[in-house]
Homo-oligomer: A and B are copies of this chain.
Amino acid sequence: MTGLPHTTVAEMIRRRLDQLTPTERKAALILLGNYPVPGLQTVAQFAKQADVSNPTILRLISKLGFSAYADFQQRLRDELEARLRSPLTKDILGQDGKGAAEIPAFAKYWESVSSALAASMHLIRPSEFDGAIALLADDRRPVTILGGRLTSSLALQAFLHLRELRSNVTLIDSQTATWAEHLLGVTASNTYLLFDIRRYQDDVIRVGQEAAARGAKIILVTDEWLSPLSAVAEHVFALRIAVNSNWDSFAPISVLIEAMIARLSAQRWPEVKTRMEELESIRRRLDTR
């Protein structure tokens, strides 16, 4: 068999992604997302899957340097054959030019995150999810968000997005000194969204306990080893965050946050939409430069 040109089609796309027009890029991304299956279909099928027109596909493969769609497909099949033949069937054709098909460093990590993500999804009970959503959707319940030293980025993510959807959302920042004030007015109508993972942080735990003691309902996002706060929380999401690294992955937690945002956003789109439009116009007015 003839030696394979050592650049994959995927690689070719990556390199020229910025030279492609928007719709071409759309198609290219569909291909990369389910690589290489879409490219093995007919032009029409590929086009339909990418929701672009027939010629866009042709122009795309032409820009990639193929003189005919058939050539393009042939190349994909050759790659596929080489890939399936190797014992490392599992790899995601990362092999970059230089000979030995070494898997790039990030690909291994990626793989490990994917599996943590899958595991995490199964750890979520739908009823728990719905319960938390109901709490967060309730406009009359103020929401307070808090994270630990490293997880504060997750708290921030939740805060920034939730703030777009509803009012009465507060992020407790890292200034421990001010925390007492936050707790002062807490009653049973408060909702707390807390992030606490391994090496559970004393101060976060204490805030949670105090809030719980005052009747607030707590949504806790933690890891599989369970923060002590799970004892007092109304809804507990214990995700799998251990991955192939010295550090835990925040991705599962991040996706959970996003899933909640997506759900909330979809659930009450009309209100959310007008809210966002108003926010936008206010921002524009303020942004006088």
Contact = CB atoms under 8 A, between A and B. Distances in A.
Nearest to A240: B29
Interface residues on A, range: 35 or more
Given A150-B160, A156-B153, A251 B247 contact: no
Nearest to A121: B110
A149 interface: yes
A246 to B, nearest CB: 5
Q: Which of the listed residues A85, A157, A243 has the most CB atoms from chain B within 10 Å of its own CB?
A: A157
A126 interface: yes
A210 interface: no
A125 interface: yes
Nearest to A126: B104
Task: Indicate how many identical chains form the complex.
Answer: 2
Contact of A124 (B106, B122, B236): B106
Contacts of A107: 121
Interface stretch (A55-63, A136-144, A185-193, A259-267): A259-267
Contacts of A149: 160
A87 B115 contact: yes
A114 B115 contact: no
Interface in A237-279: 238, 240, 243-247, 249-251, 254-256, 258-263, 265-266, 269, 272
A66 interface: no
Contact of A118 (B87, B124, B130): B87
Contacts of A244: 262
A234 interface: no
A52 interface: no
